Amino acid sequence: MFEKKNRTLSFSFLITLIFILTLNACIKKEDNHNLAYKEVEAREYEKAIEYYTLAIEEDNNDTSSYINRGNIKYLLENYDAAYDDFRRALELDTTNYLVYAFIGDVKLKKEEYLFAIEYYKIATNLQPNSPQLYCNSAFAKNKLGNKEGAIKDYGKATQYNPDFTKAYFNKAMLEQEVGHFDDAIKSYDKVIKQDKNNIDAYYNKGVLAMQFLNKPVFHQALPAFTRVIELDSSRSDAYQAIANYCFIVADNEPSETKKLYRRALNNYNIALKLDSLNAASYYGRAVTYTMMPGNNIEALQDFDKSILLNDTNMYAYYFRAFVKTLIGDVAGTLEDYKVAAELGKMSAFDSIAKYTFIETE
């Protein structure tokens, strides 16, 4: 009886010992995770890596340890080491969409865009409701020149998160770049609705609206540029844009022509006060002076300044030549027409022939 009892006690003791050892291992592993987390909170990332390494040594099949350690290495820009951890996590769990996403992030940082796109594709197939992953994929596609594909991915990001302002903005930028102006304006409107202080969205929308001269959307340019100035009164480009708008509208509003030209001049003046080296503003103001009788000298002075700052603007030479004809400077007129022709202004050739004939006479 004594021997049997001892055997029973020994077996019970063994079971208890195994339980205690298992419990201690779990607690120790959990302690390493907790300690690592605390080090991350304290921004002691190398120490956090050490604790996750200890956790992995205790259990090399623990997916979370590899993922967490990989993310810290990624944060420290040690992308190759992060990739190794994520790949090990993927071997342990091929259904975790986050691991594919993290590998995609590594490939994105290493500018391996094709691989990044493939990993993001797998991640979004596993978890379609992942707006940020579509944005990352769009970024990679744009880097490879696939702008239409990038626009599509930004569209998916906004589909799954209608409040994703940055995705709408990036989508609008690409739509603007490839010439989808109507779509771009709609995307900028989404941005503005969600962020009423997004100055770039207002400015870009204004620029796009100016492309639709004979459509109602053209007149959305003025309030857009006006809002830019409300947000930042130092934006010389916005004043210049308003001046351009007023100049264009003046041709279509006979009863308001003089008033609109004066308003254009006023905005060009402000633009040049803010940026005295803006060739385009000098050019715009010069053309406006040209349309207002009695301002030939002012027009010539501004054309001179515009050309001094940008001597490749064929229109500046062409219209300066026109002003020179008004003051009787035939030689100067011919000289400017020749430069305009050399720069590509084809109609200047006819003017050259005309004034060559005048000089001969």
DSSP secondary structure string for all residues of 1-46? -HHHHHHHHHHHHHHHHHHHHHHHHHHHHHHHHHHHHHHHHTT-HH
Residue type, 162: P
Tell me which residue of 266, 330, 328 sits closest to 292, measured CA to CA: 266
CA-CA distance, 224 to 214, in Å (whole number)?
18
DSSP helix/strand/coil, 223: helix
C-alpha dihedral, 99 to 105 to 110 to 113, nearest 10°: 100
The alpha helices in the chain, defined as continuous H runs, are: 2-41, 45-58, 63-75, 79-92, 97-109, 113-126, 131-143, 147-160, 165-178, 181-194, 199-209, 221-231, 236-250, 257-274, 279-290, 296-309, 314-326, 330-342, 348-360
> Is the distance from CB of 212 to CB of 179 less than 8 angstroms?
no
Enumerate residues 6+ apart whose C-beta is below 8 A from 61. Answer: 92
Burial of 297 (0-12, 13-18, 19+ CB in 10 A): exposed
Q: What is the separation of C-alpha 220 from the centre of its chain, rounded to a whole number of angstroms?
A: 22
DSSP helix/strand/coil, 288: helix
Kindly give the confidence (pLDDT) of every residue in the chain, 361 residues in length, as a single tens digit, with 9 standing for 90 and above.
333 333 333 434 333 333 333 334 444 556 888 898 898 899 999 999 999 999 999 999 999 999 999 999 999 999 999 999 999 999 999 999 999 999 999 999 999 999 999 999 999 999 999 999 999 999 999 999 999 999 999 999 999 999 999 999 999 999 999 999 999 999 999 999 999 999 999 999 999 999 998 899 999 999 999 999 999 999 999 999 999 999 999 988 888 999 999 999 999 999 999 999 999 999 999 999 999 999 999 999 999 999 999 999 999 999 999 999 999 998 999 999 999 999 998 888 888 877 665 444 4
Measured in residues, the chain has a length of 361
pLDDT at position 29 is 53
> Is the distance from CB of 32 to CB of 48 less than 8 angstroms?
no
CA-CA distance, 64 to 202, in Å (whole number)?
44
Tell me which residue of 108, 175, 160, 151 sits closest to 130, measured CA to CA: 160
pLDDT at position 30 is 64
Q: Give the DSSP letter of residue 76.
A: T
> Is the distance from CB of 348 to CB of 320 less than 8 angstroms?
no
pLDDT at position 356 is 62
Instruction: Supply 184's token pair.
Output: 């771009």
Residue type, 45: Y
DSSP helix/strand/coil, 112: coil
pLDDT at position 16 is 34
353: number of Cβ within 10 Å = 11
Which residue has tokens 């967490």?
Answer: 68
Enumerate residues 6+ apart whose C-beta is below 8 A from 22. Answer: none
pLDDT at position 163 is 97
Instruction: Supply 202's token pair.
Output: 């207002």
